[in-house]
A and B are shown apart, each in its own frame.
Chain A
Amino acid sequence: MRKKSLIYSLLFQGGILLLLFILQFILPTYHHSSVSKIMVLASYAVAYNFLLGYTGLMSLGHAMFFAAGMYAAGLGIYYLELSALGALLFGAAFTLVISLLFGLFALRTSGVSFLIVTLMFGQTFYLSILYFNEFTFGQDGFSLAKHLGKLVIFNKEYLYSNPDVRYNFALILLTAYLLISTLIMFSPVGRILIAIRENESRTQLLGYNVYYYKLFALVLSGTFSGIAGAMHALLFTYVGTTFAEIHHSISPILWTLLGGAGTVIGPLFGTGIMYYLVDIISGITSNYQLVVGAVLILMIIWFPMGIMGTLRQKWMKWLP
């Protein structure tokens, strides 16, 4: 039964990823680059969903992880002259440490307290970037364009900001994230995480040490968010505090819920729809925030399960 749904969902995701792959040859320039950005942000949302959707922990401080990865990679390139890959790994390692430390403390709380603790840690991180501005370039942030090396494929040089490089790197990241979360969800661990979401104390009384599984989920989610951030720094060559602000912690909540929390592919849809919604609205009215807010409210009232969540309930029972 599980095997069947695993195959179905891999096929389903494979189809969507294939579609994304093909799209790059037909999309006009602007949408080509928008979709690359969406895929990076969606990876962030997938990572976030891992915590919110599958473990049932809502964090208001995830921008901290995204920014941690982004700054580690960016500053690594700027000061230590790391290679792109090196920066990526450095970003990953740094966020791993951060999220581990963070988890050890934050997971002592749960529910609303957890939410506020994450918010506070996030703010602290944001403020510390401002405070150490001599080192981090403060609010202005900095551009990597001049410091980032070139990517060599078949001894041909490309910029990381080259549209095709960007698109396909983003696609690879997204694919990896979707694959990993799907596999985890179908593994015994995934089963336990879902159990924690459904009923924590009962899971404990089945003999599972819930704390460690929550820590695992948080560290994975945090580190993946960090890698997404590092990737963002590489492909879009700008590092700034805007990615550490609370708004950037709220965005993935919005994307995940809209797409469907607890569905592997949902966050991708959520991110895409929100991105284009904002893009189109801001062309029409100067108040896209109004729309974002309205969407949030209406969604939580009428659509608490999000798009894929509803689909799963109705038709695609096998959806992870």
Chain B
Amino acid sequence: MSSWINENGPLLFLALLDGTVTAFVLALIALGLSLVFGVMRIVNIAHGEFFMLGAVFSWFAFDLTDDPLWGFLLALVLAPALVGGIAVFSDRFILRKIKYHPESTIVATIGLLYVIQSLTLIVFGPEARAVEAPLYFRIQFPWFGYSGYKLIVAGMSALGLLGVWLLMIRSKLGLYMRATQQDLEIAKTYGVPTKKIYAAVFALGGGLAALAGVLVVPIRQADHLMGLEPLLLSFIVVIIGGLGSIRGTIVAAFIIGISDGIISVFYEPTLAKMLATLFVAMVLVLKPSGLYGEEVA
């Protein structure tokens, strides 16, 4: 046993460390998807592209200022705002037009995905572009080193999550959102401006994804195809957590993030991904409500 610890202790520790960082970022992205589903009852396939846009914008900010810190701060403010704007636009001119019909929305957002992706390819180009971390240091553990910035990312994601939570329980917007989520019709009768709320929620969802993009881009880099993987992952998270349940989403993000870390350290990664996807499908089949959410069917 102790020999096993000596052998695999570092692996386990790293898996946990890395998994936690992944989990925080994942939670941020998935939360966006979850809010949108919870309040608007739609699945946004283009969510991953919002994340990608966040990363891309923050490269432009970095390129513009040519200074990691200022570029980062600029992106931190601008990227979510811009992406939020794009979200509002697509809500107003696409989603509202199709009355948020679930299947139609999926088709429309697939279209949105293609449009955003190829426009990015035109403007930004095909290559992956690196962005320097705003502040960078390396932490040396007995067995290996680790990026300090990754820990900062985890921290800032945590702040983001906290922010959303406060928004939900403290602000009027949050109240309206919860009301709309409870029952659209009743919310309307109580004079909740549901159209505005929908726009706001879609913007918030996109903004969160973009924020995650900004935080992550110094760890990995920006490229126009980076959206698909986080999309699938946050699907997994949102489903396991229960569609529409914020608490579930965050819990699930940690389950997935950390287990993914551990599984792919101890098993073949491709196999791990395969089993994980299958597992999610089965969860949805056998417990459609997920951990916390309500039935979607």
Flag whether B111 is at the interface (Cβ < 8 A): yes
Residues A257 and B107 in contact, CB atoms below 8 Å apart: yes
Give every chain A residue within 8 A of B151 (Cβ-Cβ). none
Q: B98 on the interface (CB 8 Å rule)? A: yes
The number of A-B residue pairs with CB atoms under 8 Å apart is 119
Judge whether B285 and A105 touch: CB under 8 Å: yes
Highest count of chain B CB atoms <10 Å: which of A106, A123, A253: A123
Partner of A127, one of B98, B119, B270: B270
Is there an interface contact between B277 and A253, defined as CB atoms closer than 8 Å? Answer: no
Which residue numbers of B lie inside 8 Å of A, CB to CB?
Answer: 43, 94, 97-98, 102-104, 106-108, 110-119, 121-122, 228, 232, 235-236, 239, 243, 268, 270-271, 273-274, 277-278, 280-282, 284-286, 288, 296-297
Q: A127-B277, A253-B107 are in contact. Are A297 and B285 (CB under 8 A)?
A: no
A301 to B286 alpha-carbon distance, docked (Å)? 35
Q: Tell me whether A301 and B94 are in contact in the complex, defined as CB-CB below 8 angstroms, given that A112-B296, A290-B115 are known contacts.
A: yes
Residue pair A116, B284 in contact (C-beta under 8 Å): yes
Per DSSP, are chain A's interface residues mostly helix, strand or loop, or mixed? helix
Residues of B within 8 A of A301 (CB): 94, 97-98, 108
Q: Is A194 an interface residue (CB 8 A)?
A: no
Q: Which residues of B contact A304 (CB under 8 A)?
A: 98, 104
- 7 examples of A-B residue contacts, CB within 8 angstroms: A112-B102, A112-B106, A128-B274, A257-B107, A287-B121, A289-B118, A290-B118
Q: Are A287 and B107 in contact (CB under 8 A)?
A: no
Cβ of B99 to closest chain A Cβ, rounded Å: 10
Question: Nearest residue in A to B295 (C-beta to C-beta)?
Answer: A113
Given contacts A120-B278, A120-B280, contact A296 B288 (CB under 8 A): no
Partner of B243, one of A110, A112, A253, A292: A112
* 7 tightest A-B CB contacts, nearest first: A293-B114, A296-B111, A120-B281, A293-B115, A297-B111, A290-B118, A127-B274
Residue of A nearest to B111 (CB): A296
Task: Let me know if B118 and A287 touch, CB within 8 A.
Answer: yes
The reply to whether A294 and B281 form a contact with Cβ atoms under 8 Å apart is: no
In the bound complex, residues from chain A placing their C-beta under 8 Å from that of B98 are 300-301, 304
Q: Which residues of B contact A123 (CB under 8 A)?
A: 232, 277
Min Cβ gap A270→B in Å is 13
Asked if A313 is at the interface of the complex by the 8 Å CB criterion, the answer is no
CB of A130 within 8 Å of the partner chain: yes
Q: How far is the CB of B1 from chain A (nearest CB, A)?
A: 32
- Chain A residue with Cβ nearest B108: A300
Residue in B119, B274, B288 whose beta carbon sits within 8 Å of that of A131 in the complex:
B274
- A130-B270, A131-B270, A131-B271 given; A109·B297 CB < 8 A: yes
How far is B102's CA from A300's CA once the two chains are assembled, in angstroms? 12
Instruction: Give complex CA distance A108, B287 in Å.
Output: 10
- Asked whether, in the complex, the Cβ of B118 is within 8 Å of the Cβ of A293, the reply is yes
Task: List the A side residues contacting B110 at CB < 8 Å.
Answer: 250, 253, 293, 296
The answer to whether B115 touches A294 (Cβ under 8 A) is: yes
Task: Answer yes or no: A187 CB below 8 A from chain B CBs.
Answer: no
Give Cα A295 to B111, complex, Å.
8
A196 to B288, CA, bound (A): 21
A72 within 8 A of B: no
**Is A58 at the interface (CB under 8 A from chain B)?**
yes
> Given the complex, which residues of A lie within 8 Å of B113, measured CB to CB?
293
Residue of B110, B270, B297 with highest tally of chain A CB at under 10 A: B110
Q: How far is the CA of A124 from the CA of B274 in the complex (A)?
A: 5
Given contacts A116-B43, A127-B274, contact A296 B97 (CB under 8 A): no
Q: How far is the CB of A302 from chain B (nearest CB, A)?
A: 9
Query: Across the interface, which residues of B come within 8 angstroms of A111, CB to CB?
Result: 102, 296-297
- Shortest distance from the beta carbon of A218 to any chain B beta carbon, whole Å: 14
- The B-contacting residues of A in range 210-252, CB under 8 angstroms, are 246, 250
A254-293 contact mask (Cβ, 8 Å, vs B): 1 or 0: 1001000000000000000000000000000001011011
Known: A113-B288, A113-B296, A246-B228. 13 other contacts (CB 8 A): A58-B106, A109-B285, A110-B297, A116-B43, A116-B284, A123-B277, A124-B274, A289-B117, A293-B110, A293-B111, A296-B107, A300-B107, A304-B104
